[in-house]
Amino acid sequence: MTLSVLGDLNWLAVIVATIAYFALGGLWYAEFAFGRAWQRSAGWDLNPPENAGAGIYAVPLVTCFVATLATAMVGAASNTDNIMEGILLGLLVGIGVALPVIFVTGTFDMTKPAPMTFAAIGAGYHIVGLALAGAILGLWV
């Protein structure tokens, strides 16, 4: 694979998939979903952080873009061309890359009261988010 694959990507699909992946985080980490458990596992109190402006969302948005772009590049290189192949690609990247990386970090993070719960919630988000992104990418080849 070369970087020339960037010219073959459907950039609108990459942007839409990034936004969907990022937006899933708003639902995933909401109090009614995994938000309270995630905050407790991190050792945070359940009050919103002071002075947390919109800038706090910039890093997650950029990382969702980078992960979606990498998934799109692998999809283009592997000729992923339908929604089911896209979902499989997203699951492969999520389970094969995101899950192990997050669990290694969780294993050695002794600063959190429940590091494996923290890691499981984070890994679950990325697995589902990348499957969603992969579905969009596969659909919009």
Angle at 99 between CA 128 and CA 107, to 5 degrees: 135
Q: How far apart are CA 121 and CA 39, in angstroms?
A: 10
Helix and strand numbers, DSSP H then E, in the chain: 6, 0
pTM for this model (two decimals): 0.92
The ranges assigned to domains in the chain are: 3-46+54-139
pLDDT in 10s for each residue of the chain, 141 residues: 778 888 889 999 999 999 999 999 999 999 999 999 999 999 987 666 676 677 788 999 999 999 999 999 999 999 999 999 999 999 999 999 999 999 999 999 889 999 999 999 999 999 999 999 999 999 997
Give the C-alpha separation, 12 to 9, whole Å.
Answer: 9
